[in-house]
Structure 1
Amino acid sequence: MFDSSGLTEDLLAVYRVLLQRPDLGHAKHLDELASELELTVEKTSRDLQRLRDLGFVVPSMIEGFEYPLDPAVTFGQLAADRQQEIDELTAQLRTDQLAASKFTANLANFLVQRTTRDVEILQGRELANQRMQRFRPTKSMWGLMQDGSTANWNPEAFPDRNHLENGVEMRYIYAESYWKRPGAREILEFIAGLGGKIRIAPSIPFRLIIFDNESAVMGIDPEDNAVGAVVHHSRAVVRMAEELFLGLWDQGFTPFAGEQWAREGGISGQEAEFLRLLVHGATDEQVGRKLGVSLRTVRRIAAKLSEQVGASGRFELGVRAAQRGWVD
C-alpha cells in the first residue's frame, strides 16, 4: 500500500520483525533475521539497506547495532516527504498550465489575425442588417433573394436605389413564388427600370449577396435568417458563391421577356423544382423554404401533381414523375 513511496510489502515485513524483535538489529544476527523472514541473507541485507535509505532503520550508539524508529515518526516523515513531492509537482503543474495557456492564447491570437480578414460572424438579425448597410459596392452586387415583402412598397425607400443610380451592376434572382405574389411584378419592374437585372428561379437554396466579387454574405443558419450572417472575404469561398449564383442565373428566366418556365407535360418550373426536391428526400418544411412558399402551398402542389399522375403517396408521385421525365 506504500509502493509509491518505495516501501514495499517485503520491506514492511522486515520493519515489522525488527519492531517486534529489536535484538535482531545487530549485524551478527543477520542470519537469524533472514531465517525469521524466510529470506536469503542477501535479500535481507538489501532490504535493510533500503530501510536505512528511507530512514526506518537508524544506527544505535552500540557499535554494529541498529534499531527501527517508532512508526509514528517514520510514517509521519514519509507522509511529509510525499506531501513535499506533491506540492512540488503541483507547483510545476501550475507552471506548465500557465505556459500552455499562454502558448494557446498566442496561437489563437495568431490564427485570429490570420482569419479575421476572411470571415466576419454577425450574430443576430440586427447586427447583420447594420453590417449590410456599411457595404459600398462600386462594381457589382449579385443576390439570391429567398423572399421579400410586397406590402407598403415605397420606391423612394428602396435600399439599393443609390447603387443602381451610381452604375453598380445589380443582378437579383428571385424565387418563382415571390414573382407570383400580388405587387411583386411592379417592384421588379421598378428595379429593372433603374438598370437592375432580374431573373426568376423555381427555388432559392439560401439567401446570398455578393459584393464587387470580393465579399459573400450568407446566413449562419440557412433555415433561419434571424440567427445572423457570415461575411466571407476568402477568394475561394467568394468564387464558389459566384459559381453557384451564375449557375442559377443561367437556369432562370427573365420575367419581362414573356418567357415561360414550364416543362413538357404542363407542369411549372415551381412544380418541377418541388419534384426534384421531393426525390432528393427534402421535407415539406425544407421544400417550402427553398420555394419560398408556405407549408399549405407545398401540400397543395403535392396534391395537384398526385392527382395529375394518379399517385396515392409521395413515393409513388416521385416514381411516376420520373417515368414522365419530369425529374432526373
Structure 2
Amino acid sequence: MFESLGLSQESLDLYRLLLRKPELAGKANRSALCAELGLLGDEVEARLEHLRGLGFLAFRWNDTGDEYAMDPGVTLERLAAKRQTMIGELTQELESDQLRAREFISDYNTYLTQNTVPDVEILDGADKANLRMQRFHPTKSMWGLLTPGPFSTAPTENFADKIIQERGVECRYLIAESQLRFRGARDHIALLQELTGTVRVIPAVPFRMVIFDGESAVMSIDPDNSKVGAVVHHSKAVVRLAIEMYEHYWRFADRSFERTPESGELSGQEAEFLRFLVQGATDEQVARKLGVSMRTVRRMAAKLSEQVGASGRFELGVRAAQRGWVD
C-alpha cells in the first residue's frame, strides 16, 4: 500500500503492531516481539532498522535506550514530503535529459544536412542519404522513379516500403524497361503490387527520385552515381516541377505490364511454390519460406490449378511434374 513511499508491507505490519502494543518496542521485550511476529531475532532487527531509517521509531525521552513508534500523522506526512522532494529532483533530471536529447537530435540533423540552404538539404554520400530517407514518414503518397539496378532479395517482412504501404499510403513506382532484365525483377514487382503498390514501366528513367506527400522531392546529386549522395528539395516550385515531370511519365508509361510471365511460363516465385508443394510443405511453411502472405500462396495455388486444370493440391503437383515444371 505504501511501497511507493519506501515502506514495505512487512515493515508496515511491524509498525502497526508497535502502535497497538508499544511495550514490545522495548529492548527487554525483544523475544516477545519475535514471538508475536513468528520471526527470528535477526529478521526482526532488520525490520526495526528499516523503520528507524524511515523515521518511524524514536528513542524515549528518559534515556532508557528503549524506542517507541511515532505518531503516523507525523511519520507518513514526513515520508510523503520526502518522496515529493525526490519526485521533484527526478522531474528536474528528466527535463535536463530531454534538453540534452533535443540538443543531440539537433546536432544529428545538422550532421545530416551540412551545406543545407533554405528549402534544400544536400546529403553528401550514400550513408547520409540513406539515413535521411529513413526519417521520412509519408501519410498520403510516395512516388518513386527508380533507376536500373539489382532488386532487393530481402524477405517481405524486411521490405523497407512495407510499413509505409500498410498505413494506406498511395505508392507508385516507375521503373525503366531495362530493369526487367535483372534477376528477380518480376518477383519484386509482384511484391510491390501485393503490398498495394502500383507499378508502371517506361523506356528509360532520367535519374532516381522519390516524392513524399507532394511536399518533398529527393533526387540523386549525380544521376549516374547514387553513391555521391542526394538532394532534398522542399521548395514549392521545385517540388511542383518534380510532380509534373512524374505525372508526365506516369501518363505515358506502359500500364499493361503484367507481373506474371508469358503464358505457359512460371515466375521464379511460382516455381519455388511448386517445389515446396511437391515436398509436402504446408501453406504456412510455403508463405514463410517465400516471405509472402498466406493470401498470396492461396492465390498462386488457385491460379496454377486453373492453368493446368487441377482440382486439388496433389493433382496440381502431379500435373506440374508432367509439364516439367518441377523435378
Q: TM-score range by the shorter chain?
A: 0.3 to 0.5
Structure whose alpha-carbon radius of gyration is higher: 1
